[in-house]
Amino acid sequence: MKCCLVAAALVIATAAHAGRSCEDKPLTVRQVVQGLNLAQATARQLDASGAQVVLLARAGQDLSKYGLQWSHLGFAYKDPQAGVWRVVHKLNQCGTDHAELFRQGLGEFFLDNPFRYAAAYVVLKPALQQALLPVLTDNARASRLHERRYSMVAYAFGTTYQQSNQWALETLAAAAAPGVVSRRAAQDWLKDRGYEPTDLHLSTLTRLGGRLTRANIAFDDHPSARRFSSHIDTVTVDSMFVWLPRAGLADTPQPVTPERALNTP
């Protein structure tokens, strides 16, 4: 279980509850067991893939009403020195309007009380893996396109805010195209290669309620014509998993198959 239990140093921040609501409620024994079982199954499957870098998704929130299966992803990479899997990903801190980058072990990645104990990954093409590995192991390079201002529904082609999946997608673009050195350039590259964000249909009432009650939700970065007609274009795991194989940058997404059921009551 060494590969699953060790949490590496954080890339930037040290918030104890990053990505969570900051409720002082410890995980139950069952939740810990489920999370570590999923982490162990993930490590074994990633080892068997022969990959060095993958995009790893989890189902932290229930987004089924939007037709989405996965809520969050990060880069999982095989530490070239320790020989264990680490995850670099962006997390919103306690529902605030900002986020930071973190480096964790697989165990910690799944010990977040998710909606569903499930995971999936895409193996990136070898050349892209080789380009990403030195980025992910270097704090400065990993954070080059990071924007601290956070919105859960940040506009996919805007630079005012940046949500977690958006950071991963833009960082991937910069690794795939060495000439990309800014967020805007990364987004232009993604558009040129046919990336299409998810179109969330959110009513005016839903948008107003979210903006008034949640610090980590903002809509002012979206084009007015789209926003006022209830179209919110944002980066999702599902849209990335569709686009990556189509763009020739990754293999078909693979579900993690646990060795025993993890969703029993």
Look at the pTM and tell me if it is higher than 0.85.
yes
SS3 44: helix
How high is the pLDDT of residue 19?
Answer: 42
Give yes or no for a contact between 75 and 132, defined as CB atoms under 8 angstroms apart. Answer: yes
Residues 199 and 24: their CA atoms lie apart, in Å, by 35
- Checking if the pLDDT of 6 tops 90, the result is no
- Both tokens of residue 70? 């996965």
Give per-residue pLDDT as tens, 74-110.
999 999 899 999 999 999 988 899 999 999 999 999 9
Residue 262 lies in a domain: no
Domain membership flag for residue 240: yes
d(CA 263, CA 265): 6
Q: Is residue 26 part of a domain?
A: yes
> 140 in a domain, yes or no?
yes
> Using 50, 70 and 90 to split pLDDT, how confident is the model at 201?
confident
pLDDT of amino acid 113: 82
Instruction: Look at the chain and report how many structural domains it folds into.
Output: 1
In this structure, are residues 107 and 33 in contact, taking their beta carbons and an 8 Å threshold?
no
pLDDT of residue 214: 77
* Residue 176: partners with Cβ closer than 8 Å, 6 or more residues away: 128, 131, 189, 249
For residue 123, which of 253, 256, 3, 257 has the smallest C-alpha distance?
A: 253
In this prediction, residue 210 has a pLDDT band, given cuts at 50, 70 and 90, of low
- Cβ–Cβ < 8 Å for 39, 109: yes
Q: Which long-range contacts (CB under 8 A, 24 or more apart) does 186-191 make?
A: 186/145, 187/156, 187/157, 187/159, 191/157
Which is more confidently placed, 200 or 5? 200
* C-alpha atoms less than 13 angstroms from C-alpha of 227 in its C-beta half-sphere: 13
How far, in whole angstroms, is CA 63 from its chain's centroid? 14
66 DSSP 8-state letter: G
100 close to 23: Cβ distance less than 8 angstroms? no
User: 234 is in which domain, residue-wise?
Assistant: 2-255
For 206-260, give the secondary structure using H, E and C. HHHHHHHHCCCCCCCCCCHHHHHCCEEEECCHHHHHHHHHHCCCECCCEECCCCC
User: How does pLDDT run across 38-84, given as a tens digit for each residue?
Assistant: 999 999 999 999 999 999 999 999 999 999 999 999 999 999 899 99
Residue 112 CB neighbours (<10 A): 18
Q: How far apart are CA 75 and CA 83, in angstroms?
A: 16
Q: Domain for residue 261, yes or no?
A: no
pLDDT digits (tens, 9 = 90+) for 215-247: 899 999 999 999 889 899 999 999 999 999 999
Show the DSSP H helices in 115-236 as ranges: 126-136, 139-142, 164-176, 183-192, 204-213, 224-228
The 10s digit of each residue's pLDDT in 245-261 is 999 999 999 999 876 54
Q: How confident is the model at residue 17 (pLDDT cuts 50, 70, 90)?
A: very low
